[in-house]
Structure 1
Amino acid sequence: MIYFWQQVYNFCQHITSRIGDKLLEDFAKLEPTRKADGSLVTAADKWADQEIRTGIKQCFPTHGILTEETEHLLPINDWCWVVDPIDGTTNFTRGLPIWGISIGLLFKGTPVFGFVHFPQIQQTYHGYFYGDTGLTGPKGAYLNGDRIYTSNADASMNHIFTLCARSTEVLKNYFPCKIRLTGVASYNMLLVACGAALGSLEATPKIWDIAGAYPILRAAGGQLIHLEPQPVFPLPQGTDYSHRGFPSLCVAHPKLINEFKPLVEFIGEKALQHSS
């Protein structure tokens, strides 16, 4: 199993570095088009998606693939890669430096390995979290090779909490932290993982937005609370995830759940009503 995990890490490191270098050449130079769901896409998204899918098929031919741009049906394979070729396409096209390549590896529907590379700001996160899958292997969460952990601080106005653009309604009431919006779901979660933020809220992320960051967050000590009544993982196989949202609250440590969850639950309820 150690050899397998080394293969997985080496593959992610190599392909995200190569693709990232090419994307840097296209940064802020491409005009996007709008997809049916309202999100943006560029030729660079499609190219990166194809390159990653081709690489996976060559290196891991028995594994399934689910990506934002092409493959939305979770296959029945035990192992499945979930890919967002450019998380933060709007930032990428408008010249904002926070955008990345997000790759998650699922085992029987549960994310167990994540690798997220942000070429413009030269940050690369990876992590392993096996949960109840019975898998063994390397442990921990890392930023540029250094071990990272979530913060153990209490909420205060000297700490940061990140929101997505669709969850700013929480600001109508008192909120116990300073708010930031980066525009990138995976980066928001990883800010919690590395201790920079105490929490984050995503109202309508898709599975490719969170699959790469989830194992890193959990390995660093953080929690992901799904704002819906039923457990999310393991994901049912054979399901189309093109329109399925996963309203989620991330927190640095369990004590923060009771503080933040009552403030944000209505966001999850609205998101689920909208998707049903």
Structure 2
Amino acid sequence: MTVIDFNAFIGRLATSSGETILPFFRTSLSIDNKNSTDFDPVTEADRAAEAVMRRLIKANFPQHGIVGEEFGTEREDAEYVWVLDPIDGTKSFISGFPIWGTLIALLHRGTPVYGMMHQPYIGERFSGDSGSARYQGANNTTRKLAVRRCASLKDATLFTTSPRLMNDADRAKFQDVEKGVRLTRYGGDCYSYCMLAAGHLDLVIETELKPYDIAALIPIITGAGGVVTTWEGKPAQNGGRIVAAGDPRVHEAALKILNA
């Protein structure tokens, strides 16, 4: 079975999860903290959306594996594995800001071959299969995604969700890169990577990412012509310290500073 055969099903996952999440957005909902030393929120919306997607996957592809943020892993060594983050950007979600999204990735023998970021409140979908990437808007308008060229770091726009999420050593390295760019903005979570794929910014640098934070975004970025690796220049699907860039020249320049 090819990735094309999964397209309609991935659309069903996105629609079903979105219909589950939206009734919770901008309401008074209970919030749990998953971290004893920091604030890592999870809501009923996160859990309900992942449960819906897991049920659909198990009903249609019982032989597939699943890796999810809220309910762990099942058959992680299967040929096909779904990697799910029901709400990437939960802190924005609980604050009422629509810069969050549902991340759905399909791995084939450990490699991300398809990814989608769905924002149901705005009605946007960003998807990619490494060979190409697409945008679908609320009125069903579609267009191909393409990164923009950026010759040097001094012309680049840099994003990270928050430097406070980095340890002291990584934050210092990030700030070394930050000194050399034209503009830095904070926030965005998964949206930053999608805006990179759409050609609106040039560089995203983050740390401490989990596989479900990045796996779906890799085919979108590479499909749009960008590059995404770890700080060490290795494949990014397992998470960790991540660098994504629209232009390989900016990616190389950032890696040089981060590893100096």
What TM-score range do you get, normalising by the shorter chain? 0.7 to 0.9
**Secondary structure of residue in 1 paired with 2:243:** strand
Aligned residues: 244
Partner residue, 1:221: 225
The CA distance in 2 between the partners of 1:74 and 1:262, in whole Å, is 38
**Equivalent residues in 2 for 1:153-168, closer than 5 Å:** 153-155=150-152, 159-165=156-162, 166-167=165-166
The superposition leaves residues 18-66 of structure 1 with CA deviations (integer Å, 9 ceiling, x where unpaired) of 3213322211222321103742100110101100101111121211000
Assess, with a 3 A threshold, how the Cα gap between structure 1 residues 263 and 121 changes in structure 2: closer, same or farther.
Answer: farther
Q: Identify which range, 64-73 or 102-111, moves more after superposition.
A: 64-73
The CA distance in 2 between the partners of 1:201 and 1:74, in whole Å, is 31
The CA distance in 2 between the partners of 1:234 and 1:214, in whole Å, is 7
The superposition leaves residues 75-106 of structure 1 with CA deviations (integer Å, 9 ceiling, x where unpaired) of 11011000001011111111111111100011
The superposition leaves residues 108-142 of structure 1 with CA deviations (integer Å, 9 ceiling, x where unpaired) of 1111100110122222011112xxxxxxxxx4100
The CA distance in 1 between the partners of 2:128 and 2:196, in whole Å, is 14
TM-score of the aligned structures, taking structure 1 as reference length: 0.80
The CA distance in 2 between the partners of 1:204 and 1:93, in whole Å, is 21
Assess, with a 3 A threshold, how the Cα gap between structure 1 residues 149 and 157 changes in structure 2: closer, same or farther.
Answer: same
Partner residue, 2:242: 248
Partner residue, 1:134: none
Assess, with a 3 A threshold, how the Cα gap between structure 1 residues 261 and 86 changes in structure 2: closer, same or farther.
Answer: same
The CA distance in 1 between the partners of 2:107 and 2:157, in whole Å, is 30
1:28 aligns with 2:26: yes
Q: State the Cα distance separating 1:152 from its structure 2 match.
A: 0.9
Partner residue, 1:174: 179
**Equivalent residues in 2 for 1:29-178, closer than 5 Å:** 29=27, 30-36=29-35, 38=38, 39-72=40-73, 75-129=76-130, 139-144=131-136, 145-155=142-152, 159-165=156-162, 166-167=165-166, 169=172, 170-171=174-175, 174-178=179-183
1:212 aligns with 2:216: yes
The CA distance in 2 between the partners of 1:199 and 1:65, in whole Å, is 30
**Secondary structure of residue in 2 paired with 1:121:** coil
The CA distance in 1 between the partners of 2:73 and 2:63, in whole Å, is 18
TM-score of the aligned structures, taking structure 2 as reference length: 0.85
Unaligned runs of 5+ in 1: 130-138, 236-244, 267-276
Partner residue, 1:190: 194
Q: Identify which range, 64-73 or 207-216, moves more after superposition.
A: 64-73
The CA distance in 1 between the partners of 2:237 and 2:70, in whole Å, is 22
Assess, with a 3 A threshold, how the Cα gap between structure 1 residues 264 and 123 changes in structure 2: closer, same or farther.
Answer: farther
Partner residue, 2:139: none
Question: 1:13 is aligned with what amino acid?
Answer: G
The CA distance in 2 between the partners of 1:158 and 1:31, in whole Å, is 43
Unaligned runs of 5+ in 2: 137-141
Percent identity reads 27
Q: State the Cα distance separating 1:74 from its structure 2 match.
A: 6.4
